[in-house]
Amino acid sequence: MEELTQVKELLMESCCLIVFQGMAVGTGWLFNNNKIVSAGHCFTGLQERKYINPKEINNQQIEAHFFNQSGENIYSLQFLCGVYTKKPLVDFCILDAKNVTNLRSLPIANTICLEGRFYTAGFGKTLQRISNAEGDIIGLAQETGGRSVLKLSSEQCCEEGYSGCPIYSSKARGVIGIQSEITKKNVGSESKTILAYPIMNLVEDNVLKRPESFHGLPKYNDLDIGMHYRNQGDRCFEAKSFKEAREYYIQAKIYLTNAIGERGAYINDIDKRIKRCKSS
C-alpha cells in the first residue's frame, strides 16, 4: 500500500497539462533527460500525420503546466517529434522540457505487461485539475498493417483530457504505454475501453534516446513485426509472465506465417516457445 501511494504521488508530480495555442489539449509526463511525452493527436486536431513537422508546431506557443502544493509552474516547450495515424494506430510525441527543474521523472519499464492494474494522472474535464486515475490492462488490440497496441479498461480515463497520460503498470513498475484513443462503443464490454501506444515501440525504434533525429517511422513488413512480437514474448518469458509471453508468441506466428509460410525454422521455433509457455 505504501508503494502504491508513492507511485500515485510520483504520477501527480511528473504529469502536466499540455497547453497548445492557448488551449488545454491533453496530458504530458516527464521522463529522463528533461523530455516530456504526450499523444501526437493533441497537436494535429485528430488529423492523421505520419510525420508531425516540428517547424509547424514550434511556430506557436506550447506550455507545460505543473501543479503542486505551492501552486502552478509554467514552462515553455519545444516540439521534437511525433506521429498520429489511425490504421495502424501510432500516437506519440516528444517535447523538449530543458527548463524544467527539480521535478522527478517517471521510469520506463524494460518490458511490457498485458495484465494487472495500471495507474496514471491526468486532467479530466470533470474535475478540471490533475487527478489520479486507474484501471485494468486487458491485453492487446488487433491492428492491421502494424504492431498491436495496448487495450485498457477504465471509466476515469475515458474522460477528455487524459490523452497522452502515462500508463504505469504496477507489475512492470514503470510506464508501458501512452494513452491514445477511447473506443467509440458506449455499451457492453467495450464501453470503457481505451487504447494505448506501447512505450517499448519507441524504445526499439530508438525514438526516446534521439527524438531530434526522428524523421518518420520505419516501414515494417510482416517479418519485422513478427520478430518484434517474438522479442516481446521473450522478455515476458524471462520475467516469468508466461500467459503474456504466449499471447505475444501467437501474434508472432501469425505475422511470420504471412512472411515466410507455415513451414520453416522460424515457425518451428515459435511453436516450441508456445508449448514452453503452456508447460511453465
Per domain, the residue ranges of the chain are 2-96, 117-205, 222-279
**Residue 13 near residue 56, CB atoms below 8 Å:** no
| Residue 194, strand partner residues | 152, 182
Does residue 49 carry a pLDDT above 80?
yes
Q: Which of 58-67, 183-192, 210-219, 269-278 has the lowest mean pLDDT?
A: 183-192
Express as a percent the part of the chain with pLDDT over 70.
93
pLDDT band at 20 (very low <50, low <70, confident <90, very high): very high
8-state DSSP, 199: H
- Res 144: pLDDT: 58
Query: What's CA 11's distance to the chain center, in Å?
Result: 15
Instruction: Work out the mean pLDDT of the chain and round it to a whole number.
Output: 87
- Res 269: pLDDT: 86
- Res 142: pLDDT: 65
- Res 147: pLDDT: 77
- At 206-254, the pLDDT tens digits run 898 888 888 887 777 788 888 888 888 898 888 888 888 998 999 888 8
Does residue 65 carry a pLDDT above 50?
yes
- At 124-177, the pLDDT tens digits run 876 668 899 999 999 888 665 677 889 999 988 888 889 999 999 998 899 999
Q: Which amino acid is at 103?
A: L
Tell me the three state secondary structure of residue 208: coil
Does residue 185 carry a pLDDT above 70?
no
Bigger pLDDT: 100 or 104? 104
pLDDT band at 186 (very low <50, low <70, confident <90, very high): very low
- Res 33: pLDDT: 66
C-alpha cell at 181: 484513443
- Res 145: pLDDT: 63
- Report the run of H or E that residue 80 belongs to, with start and end: strand 78-85
Q: What are the helix (H) ranges across 105-240?
A: 199-204, 222-238
Give the strand pairing for 131-141 and 71-76: unpaired
- Looking at 3.40.50.10480, 3.90.1150.10, 2.40.10.10, 1.10.510.10, the CATH number of the domain 117-205 comes to 2.40.10.10
Q: Do domains 2-96 and 117-205 have the same CATH topology?
A: yes
Cα angle: 247, vertex 189, 167; to 5 degrees: 60
pTM: 0.84
Assigned CATH for 2-96: 2.40.10.10
Terminal Cα distance for the chain, rounded: 30
**Residue 246 near residue 277, CB atoms below 8 Å:** yes
